Amino acid sequence: MDKITLLAPAKLNLGLWVGKKRRDGFHEILTTMVPLEFGDTVQITKTGSGLKLKITGIQLHIAPEQNLAFRAASLFFSQLKIPPCCFISIHKRIPPGSGLGGGSSDAASVLLGLSALFDSPLSASKLHRLAAQLGSDVPFFLRAAACVARGRGELLRRVRLPTLNFVLLIPGFGVNTAWAYRALDRQRRKLTAVPISPKILALKLRRNEPAGIAAQLYNSFEPVVFRRFPQLKRAKDLLLKKGACAASLSGSGSTVYGLFLGPDPMAVLKLVKREALGFSAISTRSRPTVRDNWGVV
């Protein structure tokens, strides 16, 4: 096999608690992450030599060498101690700075795709370590299944959830994650008890209990992010008004999502688009586990 094409799924955070800052500069977090059917497309082709990257769709306006997918490929070939020899083409649908993990997902797809093209030369644990070097979210995308994430995001445990329907509202701007963490640290004087429980969330989702679900989608970033970007709070209120059982910021933003248990999300999408406040509106679902076949599309 000389070519492989994969879906690099976006993700949502179903609840996100941010704890204290650690000695390594990262923060402790607790969240449940789910992959979506919405995402980027990554195609990798073996070549005679060299490493090239082409981006279509949403443009990132950064040098290829700064792209996380390019860095993932460089790291993979360095680990194998062979010269780079592939062409990577990514069709971007996930906006940068949207809280949907697009860059991390692309990087994980490159690691998985190269592993498939080169007959799985690295163990799962080595791939996980490479992913963790690239970013806190990248190990999650190696699994691309609903997971509880702890530590700085690299400590993962799979969790069984039903298929979930979402409407995403994505503004035309991103939220800088480093700024969000600094603003959160400045704003709070002390940590409160952890207000979410992934175990309770999973139970409430399986039992289809809206009130219990809404209570578990607390996001530590919302107070500081909504203060600076009030239009994101208005987007959350709009989703709740249109029948979402719960709505929340994903990650540190800028995407706001609504979880729909009852109404048809496509019908809701039409209503939301009429009042979407200049946001892009997307209807999507959580994605079943597909990494056993490399997520090939």
> Which residues are paired to 35 by β-bridges?
11
Query: Is 174 found in the same domain as 141?
Result: no
Q: What is the model's pLDDT at position 289?
A: 61
Which positions ≥6 away from 61 have C-beta within 8 Å?
none
Query: Is 148 found in the same domain as 32?
Result: yes
Q: Give a yes or no: residue 254 inside a domain.
A: yes
Query: Is 152 found in the same domain as 172?
Result: no
Query: Is 122 found in the same domain as 259?
Result: no
User: Which two three-digit tokens encode residue 278?
Assistant: 């200049």
Phi/psi at 163 (nearest 5 deg)? -65, 130
Region 146-175 average pLDDT = 94
Q: What is the model's pLDDT at position 297?
A: 45
Query: Is 276 found in the same domain as 225?
Result: yes
Q: Indicate the pLDDT class of residue 249, thresholds 50, 70 and 90.
A: very high
Q: Give a yes or no: residue 117 inside a domain.
A: yes
Q: Give a yes or no: residue 102 inside a domain.
A: yes
Q: Give a yes or no: residue 293 inside a domain.
A: no
Query: Is 169 found in the same domain as 156?
Result: no
Query: Is 181 found in the same domain as 102?
Result: no
Query: Which CATH number do you get for residue 79?
Result: 3.30.230.10
Peptide bond into 283 cis (omega under 30): no
- pLDDT digits over 81-128, tens only? 999 999 999 999 999 999 999 999 999 999 999 999 999 999 999 999
Query: Is 227 found in the same domain as 115?
Result: no
Query: Which CATH number do you get for residue 237?
Result: 3.30.70.890
Instruction: Give the number of domains in the chain.
Output: 2
Q: What is the model's pLDDT at position 130?
A: 95
CA-to-CA distance for 297 and 168, rounded, in angstroms? 23
**End residue of a domain, out of 109, 141, 160:** 160
- pLDDT digits over 23-58, tens only? 888 899 999 999 999 999 999 999 999 999 999 999
Q: Give a yes or no: residue 297 inside a domain.
A: no
- pLDDT digits over 193-233, tens only? 889 999 999 999 999 999 899 999 999 999 999 999 999 99
Q: What is the model's pLDDT at position 276?
A: 58
**Residue numbers of the domain that contains 230:** 165-285
Q: What is the model's pLDDT at position 294?
A: 43
Q: Indicate the pLDDT class of residue 184, thresholds 50, 70 and 90.
A: very high
Region 144-168 average pLDDT = 93
CA-to-CA distance for 182 and 175, rounded, in angstroms? 12
Query: Is 235 found in the same domain as 93?
Result: no
User: Which two three-digit tokens encode residue 83?
Assistant: 């010269």
Q: Give a yes or no: residue 128 inside a domain.
A: yes
Query: Is 184 found in the same domain as 135?
Result: no
Region 148-154 average pLDDT = 93
Q: What is the model's pLDDT at position 292?
A: 43
- Residues with catalytic annotation? 11, 137
Region 280-296 average pLDDT = 69
* Report field, pTM of the whole predicted structure over 0.85: yes
Q: Regarding predicted confidence, which is higher, 291 or 238?
A: 238
Query: Is 25 found in the same domain as 152?
Result: yes
**End residue of a domain, out of 100, 125, 160:** 160
Query: Is 173 found in the same domain as 61?
Result: no
